[in-house]
Chain A
């Protein structure tokens, strides 16, 4: 049951660390590249969507909302939406797909812009949940006051439980990190280009056990734009439309990082199960995998959630060489967020599209026709299956 939506263009700014460029400059660059990619012009864009919308609670995490971008780009839209509370960072892509499928818009500009690298100072660190607030509500209020301030803590206790139940070791996560670095060295856009050996990985300082420095993704400055188009409108675009075959957004547990009955699974398991119910395709049909790697441990969770291997089998699946360069199920071929930089899932989707268009240069996966993209960790999850027509 194919959706009526397709991805027709992607664009990424020259991402980097401490670029000192305004977020809007990154966004304009990414937008122009995405429109060039799609063969569309400014006036073709009639929708705009983002995650999460303008937010000031964590430095540089989301400096731009849809309003500022509409103003700056002079867009006249028939649909706009900023979604902080949807199925992961993928929510704007999903909402855009629904908007074009219901005729609310034809071509929706979906964007993610971050200046976490430039915005970070000694006293204002990026990615601290609830930073700057005196009082917290919701799920954060059960974690941050307990000094569980960072997602690395939350992912850390997930990983510790997974290690305990299934015998995974730091070396397995090291294979994820070094494999993604090997891909990054084939991607001129990736921010981390120096070699990363297993010894380097194991020697790096611990952040929140069992997760060390190279298990954590890299804060960057940059922007990424994805154009979602109605399937009928997509036929007029410059590149072959990439059909959104299926999306999954189910969530079967509470909005918490500690109450899910089995923390060796996460929201991804629900969203992926839901996604596969909406298509006749199977994991064995997939050529390219873009899996959220805000922390390395999310990669084995996503592998199992999508069904590329069974529960508890990811460590062997990884050790057998399936996910790195030359593997049968290559993961995060642009370097992922661990080595490419944290574009909150948008960079991963950008890479999946680049692969499906056959434009991934030295890291191109031969005859790539189908990709999965999974965004989010913990209770946050969105799944997508993309295919060439």
Chain B
């Protein structure tokens, strides 16, 4: 069983938005900065009015790696991990496992869309090719 994130006031929207199929990102209500990982305060302007809202859930691969080493006994390998620039949250990347694809076909600049893996009270974002 992989470790799961601890739910906090900052991150609950991000980790549970998948229950409604939504990728929730924190934004500052004042300066509109996208904030990730989510915070209770805007790191840019220190405004404490933070609004988590659904983004479209698509993006572009900034980088990736294909993991071949089974780090835990139950880990199935190989699989790809992608660091994805979100389309509508400037400066925010979401790193997640790439599913429903041959890991060796993941490339730079590839278009991805989010899906979710539900484990307990957590909905983990996963990436899959957008086309």
Residues of A near any B CB (own CB < 8 A): 122-123, 125, 128, 130, 133-137, 139, 141-150, 152-153, 156-161, 164, 205-211, 254, 256, 258-259, 261, 263
Q: Are B91 and A145 in contact (CB under 8 A)?
A: no
Q: Are A143 and B2 in contact (CB under 8 A)?
A: no
Assuming A137-B5, A137-B6, A145-B122, is B63 touching A150 (CB within 8 A)?
no
Within the complex, the shortest CB–CB distance from A312 to chain B, in Å, comes to: 16
Q: Which residues of B contact A256 (CB under 8 A)?
A: 37
How far, in angstroms, from A130 to B108 measured CA to CA in the complex? Answer: 29
Within the complex, the shortest CB–CB distance from A139 to chain B, in Å, comes to: 7
Q: Which of B65-98 contact A (CB under 8 A)?
A: 65-69, 71-73, 75, 79, 81, 83, 91-93, 95-97
Assuming A161-B62, A209-B66, is B95 touching A141 (CB within 8 A)?
no
How far, in angstroms, from A161 to B108 measured CA to CA in the complex? Answer: 8
The residue on A at minimum CB distance from B71 is A149
How far, in angstroms, from A342 to B63 measured CA to CA in the complex? Answer: 27
Residues of B near any A CB (own CB < 8 A): 2-6, 8, 11, 36-37, 62-69, 71-73, 75, 79, 81, 83, 91-93, 95-97, 108, 119, 122, 124-125
Q: Which residues of A contact B2 (CB under 8 A)?
A: 144-145, 147, 149
- Can you list 22 contacts pairing A with B, beta carbon distance less than 8 Å? A134-B4, A136-B5, A141-B5, A145-B3, A145-B5, A145-B124, A146-B81, A147-B97, A148-B81, A149-B71, A150-B71, A153-B67, A153-B81, A157-B81, A160-B64, A164-B108, A207-B67, A208-B66, A209-B65, A209-B68, A258-B83, A259-B36
Q: Which residues of A contact B124 (CB under 8 A)?
A: 145-146
Q: Which 7 A-B pairs have the closest CB atoms?
A: A156-B65, A141-B5, A161-B63, A135-B6, A157-B63, A209-B66, A157-B65
How far, in angstroms, from A131 to B65 measured CA to CA in the complex? Answer: 21
Q: Are A164 and B63 in contact (CB under 8 A)?
A: yes
The residue on A at minimum CB distance from B93 is A258
Q: Which residues of A contact B83 (CB under 8 A)?
A: 157, 258, 263
How far, in angstroms, from A123 to B75 measured CA to CA in the complex? Answer: 12
Q: Which residues of B contact A134 (CB under 8 A)?
A: 3-4
How far, in angstroms, from A156 to B65 measured CA to CA in the complex? Answer: 6
